Amino acid sequence: MLLERINNPKDLKKLKKEELEILAIEIRKALLNRMTNYSKKGHVGSNMGVVELTIALHYVFNSPIDKILFDVSHQCYTHKILTGRKDGFIYEEKFKTIGGYTDQDESEHDFFKVGHSSTSISLAAGMARARDLKGENENIIALIGDGALGGGLAFEGLNSVAEQGTNLIIIVNDNNQSIAENHGGLYKNLKELRENNGQAKNNYFKSLGLDYKYLDEGHDIKKLIELFESVKDIDHPIVLHIKTIKGKGLPYAEKDVENWHVFGNFNPETGKPKSISPIPENYAAITHDYLVEKMKKDKMVFFITAGTPSTAGFGQLQREELKSFNLQRQYIDVGIAEECATTFSSGIAKNGGKPVFCVMSTFLQRTYDQILHDLAINKNPAVLLVFAGSLKGMDAITHLGYFDIPMISNIPNVVYLAPTTKEEYLAMLDWGIEQNDNPVVIKVPSWTVRHSEKEPDKDYSNLNTFKIEENGGEVAIVALGEFFYLGKEVEELLKEKSGIKATLINPRFITGLDDKMLEDLKENHKLVVTLESGQKEGGFGQKISAFYSTSEMKVLNVGAKKEFTNEVPYDEFFIDNRLTKEQIVEDILKFL
C-alpha cells in the first residue's frame, strides 16, 4: 500500500503524480474504516469530498512552513492522514488518539482548534499580517466551504484580505451544499460562476478586489496540482474557486448529502447503520410538531434556523412537507449566520411577527452582542430555543454546550426559562410566542423526555417565581431544568442515607430569583443545594449564593467547573465534577 509509506508530507512528494490517484483510493478506504467502525459520528460528506484537493495541497506546498487553515475543520481528515496521524484511521485501538477537528496539540501541521464556521479567512489574514511584519515569506492558505462562506465573518475576512495586498490563498471548496441546502444571494453568484466555468461577468470575489481562478474538476489531482503550483508564492491575495462533490466515492452520500453530513458506525456497502435502535421521543420532533401546528393556525409565527434545521426536527422530508401546508414562507434559513438569525428575529418581532429561532448552545455563543443589543435593549419578543445546552450534549472542545447559562442569564430584559418536562416545555414555548414584553429564551432539555404528572402552568408573566414540588426541611434542593430529576434522585438518596426529607424546588426561571421563597427557606432550612446542567461559575446557583451571602444559610453549588474539556466520557466527567447523586449526597452531609 502506498499509504504505508506516507508518514508526513515529505513522503507524499516522493510519489509520482500517477500514484496519487491510487493514494486517494487508499485514503478513502482509511476514512471509511474509521467512520464505519467508530462509535462517534464523523463528518462523512465533507471529508470524502476533499481527498484529492488535500493530497494536491500537500504535494505542492510545504506544511507546516506553509500554513494550511481549515474552516470549521469538518474536512480535515485527509490532512490528518498525510501529517502523521494515519494510525487513527487504520487501527481501531488508535481511533481515540485523534479528534474530529484540527488541533495544534495533535500536530505541528494544525494551527488552531476550530469547530465553528466562517473563521479561516480572518485567521489566515491575521497570520499573514504577522508573517509580513516578521519579514517572512511562507504561503498562507485558507480552505473554506461554500456553506461557511455565507457567514458574516467570512465576508469580513474577505473584505480585510482584499486590502492586505500580500500572499494569501483562499480556496473555496464549492460542493453546492451547506449542512442543509445553501440559502442566500451569494449562492446565486456561485452557481452562475460554476455554470460559466468561472467566466461570469458578475463575480463576488472580484467585486471585492480579489484575484480569482476557477477549477471545475475538483477531483482531478493533476489539474489541482497545476492550479496550486500556479499560485504558490504569489505576491497578492487570490481566491481559488474549486468545484467538488460532497460525499465523493460513496454513492449514497453523494445522493443524500444532508443526511451524510455527519454519520458514524455504518455499513460501508449499504450506508445503513450497523445497529438500529428505536428512535425515542425527542425534543426535536416535539418542537417540529408543535411549531407546524402553530404556524398553520397563525401566519405570523416563523421558524428560523441558521443552517441547522434538523436541530429542531425540520429535516428534508419535514421541510418538503411544509409546501403542502403552504407554510414555506414561514420557514427561514439564513445560512450559517447565527448573528443574522438573531437580529433578523428581532426585526420580525418588532414588526408584529412571532419568530422562533432554534439554535444549538455551542452556536448561540456567536450571538452575544445581537442578543444583548438587538433583542434585549429593544425588548423585542422573539423566542430563542437553545438545544444541546447540557453537560450531556456534544463533547468536542469546540462544541461544548454548557456556557449558555452564564452568557444569557446575565443580560437584562431577557427571560431565560428551564423546563423539566415535555408539557412544561410546550407551555413555556406557547407563552413565549404569545407574550409581547420580553425576549424569551428556553433551555430545551437534552436528556430523556419526561412527562408532567399534573398540568403545568400556562402563564409565566409573573417572572422569577420558583415552584416548590415537594415540601421538606433542613435541606432545600433547587434543581434547574433537566437536572430536576437528578435533584429528585438526590432527595430520595438523602432521605435513605440520613432520614432528612428535603424540599425540592423547580426554579423554572434562570434569569432571576424568587426572593420571597428564598427568604422563607431561612425559617427551617440550613442548606440550599443548587443543581444546574452548565458551568457553575457565573451561573444560576451562584446567584443564589450571592442572595444568601449576608445570612447564615449555607449554599452548595453543583455544576461543571470552568474549563474546556475535550471528548471526556460522560461518566468520567460527572465523577470529576462531583455530579453523581452519591457524591452530591456525600457533600450535603459534609456541609451539615
Q: What is the pLDDT of residues 113-147, one digit of tens each?
A: 999 999 999 999 999 999 999 999 999 999 999 99
pLDDT at 474 over 90: yes
Which pLDDT score is estimated for 14? 96
Q: First-to-last CA distance in the chain?
A: 66
What is the DSSP pairing of strand 467-470 with strand 503-506?
A: antiparallel
Which pLDDT score is estimated for 275? 77
pLDDT at 394 over 80: no
- Closest to 446 measured CA to CA, from 390, 513, 500, 503: 390
**Count of the separate structural domains present in the chain:** 3
> Is residue 128 in some structural domain?
yes
One-letter amino acid at 452 equals: S
CA separation for the pair 335, 164 (Å, rounded): 27
- What is the pLDDT confidence band of residue 321, given thresholds at 50, 70 and 90? very high
Helices 51-60 and 17-37 cross at an angle (nearest 10°) of: 130
CA separation for the pair 258, 260 (Å, rounded): 5
Share of the chain residues as helix, strand and coil, in percent rounded to the nearest 5: 45, 15, 40
pLDDT at 414 over 80: yes
φ and ψ of 437, to 5 deg = -105, -30
What contacts 24+ positions apart, CB below 8 Å, involve 318-327? 318/288, 318/292, 319/180, 322/292, 325/292, 325/295, 325/296, 327/292, 327/295, 327/296
Q: Helix, strand, or coil here: 451?
A: coil
CATH of the domain at 251: 3.40.50.970
CA separation for the pair 174, 145 (Å, rounded): 6
Residue with cell 500500500: 1
> Is residue 220 in some structural domain?
yes
Which pLDDT score is estimated for 268? 85
CB 114 within 8 A of CB 68: no
Alpha-helical runs (H) found in 438-558: 484-498, 515-520, 540-547
Q: Do 363 and 245 belong together in one domain?
A: no
Contacts of 132 (CB under 8 A, 6+ apart): 166
Q: How many CB atoms lie within 10 A of CB 285?
A: 16
DSSP 509: B
Residue where a domain stops, chosen among 376, 409, 443: 443
CA separation for the pair 218, 56 (Å, rounded): 10
% of the chain surpassing 90 pLDDT: 88
Per-residue pLDDT averaged across 391-415, rounded? 91
Per-residue pLDDT averaged across 57-72, rounded? 97
| Cell (9 digits) for 417 | 426559562
Q: Do 145 and 58 belong together in one domain?
A: yes
Q: Do 144 and 228 belong together in one domain?
A: yes
Which pLDDT score is estimated for 271? 85
**Sheet (strand 237-243) strand order:** 67-70, 140-145, 168-174, 237-243, 211-215
Helices 51-60 and 221-231 cross at an angle (nearest 10°) of: 40
Q: How many CB atoms lie within 10 A of CB 181?
A: 17
> Is residue 199 in some structural domain?
yes
Q: Do 34 and 181 belong together in one domain?
A: yes
CA separation for the pair 221, 18 (Å, rounded): 9
Residues in the chain: 592
Phi-psi group of 213: left, alpha or beta (phi > 0 → left; psi -120 to 50 → alpha; rest → beta): beta
Q: How many CB atoms lie within 10 A of CB 186?
A: 16
CATH of the domain at 546: 3.40.50.920
One-letter amino acid at 422 equals: K
Q: Do 225 and 340 belong together in one domain?
A: no
Residue where a domain stops, chosen among 392, 409, 443: 443
- Closest to 386 measured CA to CA, from 444, 446, 315: 444
> Is residue 455 in some structural domain?
no
Which pLDDT score is estimated for 302? 98
CA separation for the pair 412, 511 (Å, rounded): 8
Q: Helix, strand, or coil here: 85?
A: helix
Buried-state track 256-280, b at ≥16 Cβ within 10 A, e below 16: ebbbbbbbbebeeeebeeeeeeeee
> Is residue 15 in some structural domain?
yes
Q: Do 106 and 214 belong together in one domain?
A: yes
Q: Do 348 and 237 belong together in one domain?
A: no
Which pLDDT score is estimated for 473? 95
Q: How many CB atoms lie within 10 A of CB 502?
A: 25
Its domain, for residue 556, covers 467-591
Three-state secondary structure readout of 213-225: EEECCCCCHHHHH
> Is residue 461 in some structural domain?
no
Per-residue pLDDT averaged across 554-560, rounded? 97
Share the mean pLDDT of the chain: 95
Q: Do 429 and 475 belong together in one domain?
A: no
What residues act catalytically?
246, 338, 366
φ and ψ of 85, to 5 deg = -120, 25
CB 55 within 8 A of CB 23: yes
Per-residue pLDDT averaged across 461-488, rounded? 97
Q: Do 290 and 247 belong together in one domain?
A: no
> Is residue 406 in some structural domain?
yes
Q: What is the pLDDT of residues 181-240, one digit of tens each?
A: 889 899 999 999 999 999 999 999 999 999 999 999 999 999 999 999 999 999 999 999
Q: What is the pLDDT of residues 244-264, one digit of tens each?
A: 999 998 998 888 888 888 888
State the maximum Cα–Cα separation within the chain, in Å, rounded to a whole number: 82
Which pLDDT score is estimated for 262? 86
Q: Do 16 and 140 belong together in one domain?
A: yes
Q: Do 39 and 160 belong together in one domain?
A: yes
Q: Do 369 and 482 belong together in one domain?
A: no
> Is residue 268 in some structural domain?
no
| Cell (9 digits) for 504 | 425540592
> Around 582, how many Cα atoms within 13 Å sit in the side-chain half-sphere?
3
